[in-house]
Amino acid sequence: MNQVKYSELTFQAIVEATPNAIVLVNKEGKIAYANHQTEILFGYDRIELIGRMVEILIPERYHKNHPQFRTMFFSSPETRTMGSGRELYAIRKDRTEFPVEVGLNPLVTVDVTMVLVSIIDISARKKAEERFRLVVESAPNAMILTNKEGKITLINNQTEKLFGYHRNELIGNKLELIIPTRFRGNHPHLRESFFSSPSVRSMGAGRELFALRKDGTEFPVEIGLNPIDTDEGTVVLASVIDITERKRHEAIVTLELKNKELEQFNYIASHDLQEPLRTVSNYIQILEEDFSEELSQEAKNHIRTIQRATSRMSTLIRYLLDFSRLGRDRKLVSIDCNEIVENVIADLNSLIQTTGTKIQVGNLPVINAYETELHQLFQNLINNAIKFRKKDTAPQITIGCENYNEHFEFYITDNGIGISEKHFDRIFQIFQRLNADREFEGYGIGLANCKKIAEMHGGKIWIESELGKGSTFKFSISNFQV
Ligand code: ADP
């Protein structure tokens, strides 16, 4: 056997032994050789292929462009995969098509250049990918697939809903797009450490995680990470759950716990404080009724002072009890805030008339809230806005609301005496009053009630003000769905 024949045989033996379909094609596009795997994959006998144009293996819609690609390949032949980025299909003798991956290897001999084409049927892989896509798509959580560089490669419908992006806006983009700015800097580092020892785990142990919507709003999330091995290396499938509702529920449970403590205090207050107070009151009454004639005028004056003090103290205890009872037996109902404010204004009518108060009310929303408490909240704030007016200035009050989807933000602005910044926190504590020595009456309970009511609604209350320049009280209410 001469040398050439031996190498030909070796070549043939190798080509026959590979598990892929291998086709040898010449410059003109004619098939010079096809291995047994090609016969199995395409359903032809080898004899039917050899000498035919390679287009016989390609669906008709690609025939037009194929000769041009072939010419390009032969003008600078190098080993590479075909059709990078495009999906490639082959066609069998029975006219059925299947997806393929095609490798091109130039074979250069002294007199001819040919290309050795290896064809892999990727139907099974495609099916697996499709199945994976369907599983991800139908998952109840937002699912986001990212690669090592942090690029998003796949998302499901829930992700679009949760983040407000269309999938075209996310795929191909960096994951940082949906992370609040303040966490972005650290993220590549966290990603690197995840990929260096990938495992199924939840993200950010012990930290609170937040995600960023397209509209710029943030929401708390829980994130599970699953590394997946693919042809393109390890990728990570993140499943994201919006935990806004859970957080809200937790806040309410905490509040209920606090309420329990207060109820205990309430019990103590009602028994242990009211009881001795009642005794003092009773003995004062006895002194007044039975010993009136024996008492000097000075003693009578002292008794009256004691009386005033005890009566004030019993009022304080009553308020304290009301405060601790606030929010019991509550039920969320749909409330038109315009109506609530109208009612409050009607209740305060005589005060409004005598003080010449002007109130401007913007368009307020219909919300799910606790009715009695919401009424009380508006009543306290509007009443204060009138009460803490400047001498000789008729109160002007503006009431409005901004809708932030997750919550509503109400504001009540007055042109009254204002508050200096150092008291901003203090005024919301129970029995705290700033103007006790002045002409303003009160017990310092109103704003503490307001704070509790706002918190009951998953919100908070705060103030923006400057001494002498009026105040704006703002409070938020969660957009509860019932
Ligand atoms: P009260 O009205 O019984 O004093 P609040 O709890 O309603 O108690 O208010 C606490 C304190 O906050 C008040 O004593 C007052 O000093 C201050 N304050 C409340 N509302 C206003 C307002 N609209 N303008 C200026 N100061 C206010």
Angstrom distance (rounded) from CA 235 to CA 240:
16
pLDDT means over runs of 10, the chain (482 residues):
62 84 94 95 96 96 90 86 84 96 87 89 89 88 93 94 94 93 88 87 82 93 90 88 88 78 75 86 91 90 91 85 73 93 95 96 95 94 96 95 92 96 91 76 90 92 94 94 74
Residue 271 gets which letter from DSSP?
Answer: I
Q: Whose CA is nearest to atom 19 of ligand 1?
A: 384
Q: How far, in Å, from the CA of 388 to the mean position of ligand 1?
A: 7
Angle among Cα 146, 149, 82 to the nearest 5 degrees reads 85
Residues facing 300 on adjacent strands: none
Buried b (16+ CB within 10 A) or exposed e, 347-376: ebeeebeeeebebebeebeebebbeebbbb
> In the chain, what are the domains?
3-121 (3.30.450.20), 126-242 (3.30.450.20), 247-325 (1.10.287), 333-478 (3.30.565.10)
Q: Whose CA is nearest to atom 7 of ligand 1?
A: 446
Q: How far, in Å, from the CA of 433 to the mean position of ligand 1?
A: 6
Q: pTM of this prediction?
A: 0.54
pLDDT for res 314: 87
Angstrom distance (rounded) from CA 69 to CA 191:
40
Q: Tell which atom from ligand 1 comes closest to the C-alpha of 445.
A: 6
Length of the chain: 482
Angstrom distance (rounded) from CA 144 to CA 147:
10
Q: How far, in Å, from the CA of 227 to the mean position of ligand 1?
A: 57
For ligand 1, residues with CB inside 6 Å are 380, 384-385, 388, 414, 416-419, 427, 432-435, 442-448, 471
Contacts of 105 (CB under 8 A, 6+ apart): 79, 115, 116, 117, 118
Q: Tell which atom from ligand 1 comes closest to the C-alpha of 448.
A: 6
Q: Whose CA is nearest to atom 11 of ligand 1?
A: 433
Are 360 and 301 contacting, i.e. CB atoms less than 8 angstroms apart?
no
pLDDT for res 232: 77
Helix, strand, or coil (residue 144):
strand
Cα 172–chain centre separation: 22
Q: How far, in Å, from the CA of 351 to the mean position of ligand 1?
A: 17
- In order of 215, 355, 419, the CA distances from 394 in angstroms are 41, 6, 18
Angle among Cα 417, 421, 425 to the nearest 5 degrees reads 105
pLDDT for res 95: 96
**Among candidate residues 283, 377, 393, the one with its CA nearest the CA of residue 335:** 377
Q: Whose CA is nearest to atom 14 of ligand 1?
A: 433
Q: How far, in Å, from the CA of 455 to the mean position of ligand 1?
A: 19
Residues facing 400 on adjacent strands: 411
Tokens of 446: 């109103």
